Structure 1
Amino acid sequence: MRLAVYGGASFMLALGVVLSALHQNSNFYAACVYLSKSSSCVMVLLNLGLLFSIIMGKTLQSIFFGQLRAIEVEHLYERSWYAVTETCLAMTIFREEFDLQFVLVFATLLFLKIFHWLCQDRVEFMEQSPSHRMTFHVRMVNLMALLLLIDILLACHAINVTITKGPNMMIMFGFEYTILICIMTSIIGKYILNVVDMRSQEPWEGKSMYVFYLDLVTDFFKLITYIVFFIFLCFFYQLPLHIVRDVYVTFRSFIQKCRDLYRYRRATRNMNELYPDASAEDLLRTSDSTCIICREEMHAIVVDNNGHADAPGDIDQNLDQPKKLPCGHIFHFYCLRSWLERQQSCPTWLVTSITLTLIRNQY
């Protein structure tokens, strides 16, 4: 209802401005010149363009996404305000080139960013709700292919303009579209991993590591792009304060992932030798022989003198083998390895610390 009222008022106002310009000028060309020279007329026409953009966005949303979830709308508002604020800071660098073309190019970039954010949230939602209709996959594949193609074309256009005309405002938009290419490539990779996981009969054990490596590579290319853009702006313009935070956050995320990878490799290297098998006596000493990760009962697997276990499969491949950490806590071999992919600390100590923190906050 509000959109209809806003649309009707915008259309009537734009129509009145156009008719007034045609009435005051003798021909169509003179009317167009008058409209382009008047700041108030330009604002009215830009408002009408904003209305058409909203209508087109709503139409594309209904085609590719349908009804948005509440969390998607919330993320959309948060990211949009941040993107607008960041661009306002960038305008201080390109203030001499700020014109109607800048506004149109920025509106196009924000329009595409919105669909990238929605696409990212919808792919992440696949992990929470693995059962989707075929129409969902058709929509997502077409949307991701379309967005990636548009990103590549606009990035190439911005780079070509920069090379042809020299440093100008298109540097920023070429950089933004390069970042969007990295993000869309990551989204496509995660979508493929989710589809493969949905197709498999059993849970895919190595999926989390593939997602981790994908995020690591994405952060690396984003960091390289940020650094190149930062140096370029410092050399031709001035210190780009609007991307200092993005450079820092991306650099910190990349370093943290490298540390997590190193710790995971160190923690999972020779796990059979690093973490001894838990015996039946060890399980009896514990107050609860349930693995807190999978919430299933643990049973000691005895190996005879010939190296054969009392359970099917080789002991090195037996994922149900209880393993004992240096702190004394016991978990399944597979559960421990899966946990170490995400955290490099004892899950019992982590759960205990979180519980104590929640109790402390309540009182």
Structure 2
Amino acid sequence: MRLALYGGVSTLLATAVIVEAFRQRSNFYTACIYLAKSSACMLIILNAGIFISIMLGRLLQAVFFGQLRPIEVEHLYEKSWYAVTETCLAMTIFRDEFDIQFVIVFTTLLFLKIFHWLCQDRVEYMEQTPAVPANFHARMISLMSALLVIDCRLASRAISTIMVKGPNMMIMFGFEYAILTSTIVSTIGKYTLNVIESRMDEPWESKSIFVFYLDLVTDFFKLITYMVFFAIICNFYGLPLHIIRDVYVTFRSFIQKCRDLYRYRRATRNMNELYPDATEEDLQRTSDSTCIICREDMHIRATEGDPQAGGQSEPEPVRGRNSDIPKKLPCGHIFHFGCLRSWLERQQSCPTCRRSVLPEGLYYNHIFRS
């Protein structure tokens, strides 16, 4: 109701201003000059343009996303507020170039950012949905392809403008479109991984590590982009205070991911040697033989020639089917091999007692042996 009222008032005012301009001026050219020279008229027309952008966004939302989930609406409000605040701070650097073109380019940027955020939320939602309809894939593929093309074109246009006219406000927008390009490429990569997993009969255990590497590469590209932008702004305009936080957050995220990768590689290297197979006595010693990660019971799978098999032994588990083998951590807790590997991709500590899965003594011995 409020949007309809806002749209009606905005459209009425814009129509009145344009009609009055053409009534007082003899031809189209002079009427346009009058509208462009009047600050009040331009504000009214720009306000109507914002309303048209909102309606266009709602139409595209209905086409590509349908009804938004409450969490998606919440994310939009949070990210939009931050994006507007950040751009207002950036305007202090380019305050001499603030004009109608700046407002139009900024509105376009915010418009595109909203659809990038929605794409990210929908791709994450795919992981929580057992099956998605075919029209969902058609919508996502078409939208992500369009966003990738638009991002690349606008980033290229901004760079061309800077090369021809020298440093100007397009530095900021070129940088923003470069970040959006990396974001949509990462989203497309995660969507592809989700589609591959959905077509597998069993859970894809290696998927999370591919997602991790994808996030690591994306953060590295963003960090390089931020550093280049920071250096250019410092060289031509002075210290950009508004970008310091983004540089720090991206740098910290990249370092944390590198640290997590190192810990993960260290924890999963030679898992059969670091974490021995649990025995029947180990399972009996525990109060509960349930793997707390997947909440399923753990059983010892006998191999051929095992006297404990009682003549009904199973063959040695083949590669890809050993995910249910119980593995014993140095702290004594037991988990499925596949569950443990998936857990170590996120944390390198025991899910039960939070102790490190790689004792320091064992780690140093491993280094000396290698």
- 1:142 offset after TM fit, Å? 0.4
Q: Which residue number in structure 2 is paired with residue 299 of structure 1?
A: 299
Equivalent position of 1:336 in the other structure: 340
Contact 2:189–2:214, Cα closer than 8 Å, also in 1: yes
Tell me, yes or no, if structure 1 residue 324 matches structure 2 residue 344.
no
Q: Is 1:237 aligned to residue 230 of structure 2?
A: no
Structure 2 Cα separation of the partners of residues 42 and 346 of structure 1? 62
Report the CA distance between 1:336 and its aligned residue. 1.0
Could you tell me how far apart the structure 1 residues matched to 2:6 and 2:315 are? 70
The CA distance in 2 between the partners of 1:80 and 1:72, in whole Å, is: 12
- Which residue number in structure 2 is paired with residue 273 of structure 1? 273
Deviations 1:279-308 (A, max 9, x none): 222212211111111112222345688999
Give SS of 1:202's match: coil
- Residue equivalent to 1:184: 184
Offset from partner CA, 1:217-264 (integer Å, 9 cap, x none): 111111111111111111111111111111111111111111111111
Distance (Å, rounded) in 1 between the aligned partners of 2:176 and 2:240: 14
Does the aligned pair in 1 maintain the 2:35–2:42 contact within 8 Å?
Answer: yes
Query: Quick check: 1:32 aligned with 2:28?
Result: no
1:128-164 deviations in Å (ceiling 9; x for gaps): 1131111111111000000000000000000000001
Conserved in 1, the CA contact under 8 Å of 2:304 and 2:315? Answer: no
SS in 2 for 1:342: coil
Bigger mean CA deviation after superposition, 242-251 or 26-35: 26-35
SS at match of 1:320: coil
CA distance in 1, matches of 2:72, 2:224: 29
Q: Shift of the alpha carbon at 1:202?
A: 1.2
Match of 1:221 in 2: 221
1:312 to 312, 315, 319: 315
Corresponding position of 2:170:
170
Name 1:354's counterpart in structure 2. Answer: none
Aligned to 1:93, what secondary structure does the other structure show? coil
- Residues 1:49 and 2:49 are matched in the alignment: yes
User: Which stretch of structure 1 is more off in the superposition, 189-198 or 288-297?
Assistant: 288-297
State how far apart, in whole Å, the 1-side matches of 2:133 and 2:322 are. Answer: 36
Aligned pair in 2 of structure 1 residues 227, 299: CA closer, same or farther (>3 Å)?
Answer: same
Q: Partner amino acid for 2:316? A: G
Count of matched residue pairs? 351
What's 1:348 paired with? Answer: 352
CA distance in 1 between partners of 2:29 and 2:268 (Å): 74
How many angstroms apart in 2 are the aligned matches of 1:122 and 1:69?
Answer: 10
Please give the residue correspondences for 1:7-18 in structure 2 after superposition, counting only pairs within 5 Å. 7-18=7-18
| Correspondence 1:74-85 to 2 at 5 A | 74-85=74-85
Q: Specify whether residues 66 and 80 from structure 1 end up closer, same or farther in structure 2 by C-alpha distance, changes over 3 A only.
A: same
RMSD: 2.0
Match of 2:117 in 1: 117
Identity %: 70
Equivalent position of 1:88 in the other structure:
88
Which runs of 5 or more structure 2 residues have no equivalent in the other structure? 356-370
Give the secondary structure class of the aligned counterpart of 1:349: coil
Aligned to 2:93, the other structure's residue is in SS state coil
- Post-superposition shift, 1:311? 3.8
Asked whether the 8 Å contact 1:308–1:315 carries over to 2, the reply is: no
Q: Give the conservation status (yes or no) of the 8 Å contact 2:303–2:315.
A: no
CA deviations on 1:33-86 (whole Å, 9 max, x unpaired) are: 221111111110001111111111111111111111111111011100000000
Q: Distance in 1 between matches of 2:177 and 2:34?
A: 34
The normalised TM-score by structure 1 is 0.92
Distance apart, 1:350 and its partner CA: 4.4
Deviation at 1:199, TM superposition (A): 0.9
Q: CA deviation at 1:320?
A: 2.3
The aligned amino acid for 2:76 is L
Q: 1:34, 1:123 → 2: CA distance? A: 48
Tell whether 2:262 aligns with 1:258. no
SS in 2 for 1:331: strand
- For structure 1, which segment, 220-229 or 306-315, has the greater mean C-alpha deviation from structure 2 after superposition? 306-315
**Deviation of 1:180 (Å):** 0.4
Give how far 1:325 is off.
1.1
Q: Aligned with 2:335: secondary structure?
A: strand
